[in-house]
């Protein structure tokens, strides 16, 4: 009952007011936010623990190649034993290469690739502003589906995606630092009654070919 109430509350979480900052302070804040995203092509391998609606847990291994210059992400999900259950590329469009049941639902493909893009691709800088809101400094970007906020703290960073009405759709939080400043752990949360959460533990990361 408590988690149901919490889910409803999270589902209604609203975008905080932003008190904008300008000049050198803005530039410094935007630079900090930029640093949350890979600046060049990068490959990540993660263990993934998924908590699905209803509370069942599933574990996978994910390989992601991010190419910021092409605004593309390539993602493979496999079982711990190495069976590929899902593979897709999202660039100018979404191309699903492999999707085995039950991951063959188009909503799943679009959703997972959107989550990966939100985590690794910096929103367009020209749409960004910086300020104080939600209890700390954050950058705010206007995107086609609504708004993306990036908040950098001492212990990591958080990304929030809000819909056009300002309701929270996704939250990504990063903590710990592995090699090359890559976060050791990422948590992706989709709030609401049909919400889910993913915990990604870094196995390895390295620069990739552009």
Q: Which residues bind other proteins (CB under 8 A)?
A: 43, 45, 47, 49-50, 56-61, 63, 65, 74, 76, 78-87, 100-103, 203, 206, 208
Shorter beta-carbon distance to other proteins: residue 7 or 51: 51
Instruction: Report the half-sphere exposure of 30 (CA within 13 A, side-chain side).
Output: 18
- Shortest Cβ 163–other proteins spacing (Å): 28
> Which residues make Cβ contacts (< 8 Å) with residue 5, sequence separation at least 6?
none
**Smallest distance from other proteins to CB 174, Å:** 17
**Nearest residue (CB) to other proteins, 19 versus 57:** 57
Least distance between other proteins and beta carbon 89 (Å): 10
Our CB check for other proteins shows the closer of 35 and 45 to be 45
Q: Decide whether 43 or 129 has the Cβ nearer to other proteins.
A: 43
Beta bridge partners of 77: 62, 86
* Closest distance to other proteins from the beta carbon of 179 (Å): 15
As given in the structure block, the two tokens for residue 158 are 């958080």
> Alpha helices of the chain — where are they, by DSSP H?
2-11, 23-34, 106-120
DSSP annotation string for 32-101: HHHTTS-SS-EEEEEEEEEE-TTS-EEEEEEEEEEEGGGTEEEEEEE-TT--EEEEEEESSSEEEEEE-T
Q: 21 or 89: whose CB is closer to other proteins?
A: 89
Cβ atoms of 162 and 143 closer than 8 Å: no
Q: Report the nearest approach of other proteins to the CB of residue 97 (Å).
A: 10
């Amino acid at each position: 009952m408590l988690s149901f109430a919490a889910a409803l509350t999270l589902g209604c979480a609203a975008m905080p007011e932003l008190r904008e900052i300008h000049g050198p302070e803005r530039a410094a804040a935007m630079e900090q936010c930029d640093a949350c995203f890979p600046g060049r092509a990068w490959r990540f391998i993660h263990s993934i623990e998924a908590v699905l609606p209803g509370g069942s847990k599933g574990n996978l291994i994910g390989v992601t190649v991010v190419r910021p210059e092409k605004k593309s992400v390539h993602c493979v999900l496999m079982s711990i034993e190495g069976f590929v259950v899902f593979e897709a590329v999202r660039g100018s469009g979404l191309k699903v290469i492999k999707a085995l049941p039950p991951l063959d639902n188009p909503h799943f493909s679009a959703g997972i690739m959107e989550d990966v893009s939100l985590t690794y691709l910096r929103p367009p800088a020209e749409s960004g502003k910086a300020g104080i809101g939600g209890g700390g400094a954050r950058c705010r970007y206007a995107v086609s589906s609504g708004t993306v906020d990036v908040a950098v703290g001492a212990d990591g960073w958080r990304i929030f995606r809000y819909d056009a009405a300002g309701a929270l759709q996704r939250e990504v939080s990063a903590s710990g630092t592995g090699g090359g400043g890559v976060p050791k752990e990422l948590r992706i949360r989709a709030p609401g009654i049909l919400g889910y959460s993913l915990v990604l533990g870094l196995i390895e990361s390295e620069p990739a070919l552009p």
